[in-house]
Chain A
Amino acid sequence: MQITIKYFGQLTEITHIEEESIAFSGTYIKELLETLYRKYNTLKTKDFQVAQNQELVSFETKLTGADIALLPPFAGG
């Protein structure tokens, strides 16, 4: 399945892109993340949450959507 991944905030400083499309055949969100950790090895050290089809989900959730977003917390004010 073709999946679009969006990166927010300081995650883009690791990926150097805000969005990409990859072919992926795994079952769970966390498997997708393992693939991304291999591609961007410092991503694993960052705090973020995952949204699937515009809904925040846990890493244990089944991958059902084509739209994934990786969202870090912001502290600034």
Chain B
Amino acid sequence: MSRYNRHIILSEIGQAGQDKISNAKVLVIGAGGLGCPILQYLTASGIGTIGVIDFDDVELSNLQRQILFGTASLVKNKAIAAKARLEDLNDDISIIAYPMQLTYQNALELFNQYDIIVDGSDNFETRYLVNDACIITNKPLVFGAIYKFEGQVSVFNFQNGPSYRCLFPTPPKKDAVPNCSEIGVLGVLPGIIGSMQANEVLKIVLGIGNVLSGKLLCYNALTSQTSTLKVNKNEAVFQSILKEKNHFQKNHLNIDCNADTLEVSIEDILSEELIIFIDVRESQELPKVKSIDVINIPLSQLEQNLNKIDSDTKKILFCQTGVRSKQAVELLTKLNIKDCFSLKQGATEINNYIKVLSNER
């Protein structure tokens, strides 16, 4: 019995359809909440070549929804950890892991090697980069995005259809829309939206059904309602991207993740002595960190409280997940306050780590 028997016995697919799946090359941007279910179903269905690009490492708080990973994957690169799991799921196919950030410099060359691009990224800068690179390389883009309990799915740049910019012409102001790590997300939601994206990929590969091109599907997990909205093509958008294509690689990403050098890990700092810890969460947020001295200055009031910050001592800023503390470090660095570092982890991890240390003693 062949691995793909349940596909092959469907008259809409058959051996010919399964051969199309085997010959397809699909690149998945991000191996996070959306990327995991996308990768899992594409791998199981037998897509012949699957690329996965992600520069991030697996964290404990990812396991609530990023179903390719287990505790054994913690602190490993997501693309590499995903490849290991997927190769166990299906050793018939080729899985290529790119443990790096997608950039304006590498996107075009990478996209040219694939037939379909699937966006499972988690920030607007990458989403617009992916959209524009798909226009320039003329690749269909299977789009999915989530917010708390809601998701959006569409297929862009498919058979002369509209692009993401025809829907939302320009990226929103920075920090205008928070992401999952800042505001939370229902764990099963990316499972639903990512599975819909995998479904669109298979329809494109097989040439069956109606591809979600020119339409935006909106799903609400709380009400179980879906709305499908018509999106019209704006030809001028394509022209302006194509006109600028020779300059594409001169663009630079400007996302928070680039401030890596100012990030530190809890294991590396508690042994150091002269450090001030600054909690940039709002005062009511839990858990509190009690076993070490901490100054509480919420990010929202940071600029008004610069006098509380000792400029000569090394400062470690933390919050719940490392997102706001990174913004705080960026802000302080801009204000020319030196020796500020953002803790990659959050308050819970500090408490856990202190507990481990005191048990060892």
Contacts and interface: CB of A to CB of B under 8 A. Distances in A.
Contacts of A73: 124, 145, 167-168, 172, 177
Contacts of A71: 216, 218, 229
Interface stretch (B27-35, B67-75, B313-321): B27-35
Nearest to A53: B230
A5 to B, nearest CB: 13
Q: How large is the interface on B (under 10, 10 to 19, 20 to 34, 35 or more residues)?
A: 35 or more
A46 interface: yes
Contacts of A77: 30, 32-35, 119-122, 144-146, 180, 190
B156 to A, nearest CB: 13
Given A10-B147, A46-B176, A76 B122 contact: yes
Contacts of B124: 73, 75
B145 A76 contact: yes
B327 interface: no
A51 B232 CA distance: 11
B185 interface: yes
Nearest to A47: B172
B180 A76 contact: yes
Nearest to A46: B176
Choose among A46, A71, A74, A77 the residue with the greatest number of B CB atoms under 10 Å from its CB.
A77
Interface string B169-200: 00011001111100001000010000000000
A54 B121 CA distance: 26
Contact of B152 (A46, A47, A55, A74): A74
Interface string A34-76: 0000000000001101010011100000000000010111111
B151 A74 contact: yes
Nearest to B232: A56
A27 B151 CA distance: 31
Given A49-B167, A71-B216, 14 more contacts: A8-B218, A9-B147, A10-B147, A10-B177, A47-B172, A47-B177, A49-B168, A56-B167, A56-B216, A72-B147, A74-B146, A74-B151, A75-B179, A76-B185
29 contacts: A6-B227, A8-B218, A9-B150, A10-B178, A18-B223, A47-B176, A54-B228, A55-B229, A56-B167, A56-B231, A71-B229, A72-B147, A72-B172, A73-B167, A73-B177, A74-B152, A75-B124, A75-B147, A75-B177, A76-B180, A76-B185, A77-B30, A77-B32, A77-B33, A77-B34, A77-B35, A77-B121, A77-B144, A77-B190
